[in-house]
Amino acid sequence: MAEVLNERSQNILDAIVKDYIISAEPVGSRAISRKHNFNLSPASVRNVMADLEEMGLLCSPHTSSGRIPTGKGFKYYIDTLLEVRDLKPEEKEQLSHSYRFQNMRMEDIMQEVGRVLSGLSQYTGLVMAPKFISTVFRQIEFIRLSHGRVLMIYVSETGLVQNKVIEADSSLTTRDLEQIGNYLNEELNGLSIQEVRNKLKRELQEDRVHYDRLKKQALNLSCSALQDEVEDQLYVAGASLMLGQPEFATPEQMQRLIETFESKKQLLELLDRSQSAQGVQIFIGSESSHVDLEGCSLITSTFSNQKGAIGTLGVIGPVRMNYSQVVPIVDFTAQLVSRVLDRELE
């Protein structure tokens, strides 16, 4: 699959991609031959470029213009040529100070991370909060609303608060709900949601449950409270920065981009995918199949605490993104957030 290029071709591809990342404009043979001292004439460079074009790594917008890298070209660059340097200690130090996490709710932390990611990269920051199902049970409360509707408030180990309205037997009193809460808090403390579900299922099947009305109701209630997925929380920051990029300069492209950001569905799908793997991942718009993010690239990394609450954060920018700068930022930020989440556990 991955074609092998000789060194000269690699160097030239590298140079073209780097130039294009800066200028956003087609790169000509003359510029390459002059700026980088390969000691090659433009004509020789042109020959190589023609080869690269044939391989599908470059293309030219029209007959007589320079070349721009294709999606495949960028992929090759990222996989083979990109050198991601580690941040220096002082850079890490500085980066840590960009984030102010003191006395913040989970929501605020997620939002702040998005904002800072966007600010540092000058692209759009994305954060997906840890999924409900990946969290560890800490506390649950039930509050009676009207007509047999109950407000459930769930708090995870890390202080993630989620709430949900559920239907319940309208005969349940405030007192009942309190007892149910106490019972569950004692029973379920420290279990992962997955374990909680298993435990609940097991207990519901035991026969003797049917003799204890309250216990049965407790189990039913917590089942509907914890069974269904709670909607994913996605934070998007700095969407307007994307509009400054030349690749989205036309009104139609802008509108499409903002629509995509607004609906969040496609973004969630992408972030979901990256959650399966570890470390930094890069998606290139054109290759990412049915997702309609043409011209965009996504750099993501997952964060998690020791108990396994997993979230994803990243930066979305034009394919022509400054990967060597953004990748370490995303990487280190993910580590930073993981550490902060662990700090929440006393």
Partner DNA sequence: GTTAGCACTCTATATCGACGAGTGCTAATT
Partner DNA sequence: AATTAGCACTCGTCGATATAGAGTGCTAAC
Distances, alpha carbon 300 to alpha carbons 40, 90, 244, 321, 346, in Å? 38, 23, 22, 13, 28
Spatial CB neighbours of 280, under 8 Å, sequence gap ≥ 6 = 299, 300, 301, 327, 330, 331, 334
* Interacting residues with a second copy between 200 and 239 (CB under 8 A): 237-239
* Interacting residues with a second copy between 164 and 203 (CB under 8 A): 164-167
* Interacting residues with DNA between 24 and 53 (CB under 7 A): 26-31, 39-44, 46-47, 49-50, 53
CA dist 240 and 200 (Å) reads 46
| Least Cβ distance, residue 159 to a second copy (angstroms) | 5
CA contacts within 13 A on the Cβ side of 108: 8
The item of a second copy, DNA, none sharing an interface with residue 278, based on CB under 5 to 8 Å by kind, is: none
CA dist 155 and 70 (Å) reads 46
Instruction: Draw the binding track, 259-298, toward a second copy (x: CB under 8 A; -: no contact).
Output: x--x------------------------------------
Instruction: Draw the binding track, 82-121, toward a second copy (x: CB under 8 A; -: no contact).
Output: ---------------------xxx----------------
Spatial CB neighbours of 286, under 8 Å, sequence gap ≥ 6 = 70, 71, 294, 295, 319
| Least Cβ distance, residue 101 to DNA (angstroms) | 46
The item of DNA, a second copy, none sharing an interface with residue 79, based on CB under 5 to 8 Å by kind, is: none
Q: Which DSSP symbol is given to 88?
A: P
The item of DNA, a second copy, none sharing an interface with residue 311, based on CB under 5 to 8 Å by kind, is: none
CA dist 184 and 178 (Å) reads 10
The item of a second copy, DNA, none sharing an interface with residue 46, based on CB under 5 to 8 Å by kind, is: DNA
Instruction: Draw the binding track, 56-85, toward DNA (x: CB under 7 A; -: no contact).
Output: ----xxxxxxxx------------------
| Least Cβ distance, residue 180 to a second copy (angstroms) | 15
154-162, 295-303, 311-319, 329-337 -> range binding a second copy (CB under 8 A): 154-162
Structure tokens of 163?
Answer: 């709430």
Give per-residue burial for 10-32: e unless 16+ CB within 10 Å, then b.
Answer: bbbbbbbbbbbbeeeebbbbebb
The item of DNA, a second copy, none sharing an interface with residue 60, based on CB under 5 to 8 Å by kind, is: DNA
Quick check: 101 and 112 in contact, CB under 8 A? Answer: yes
Which stretches of the chain bind DNA, using CB under 7 A?
Answer: 26-31, 39-44, 46-47, 49-50, 53, 60-67
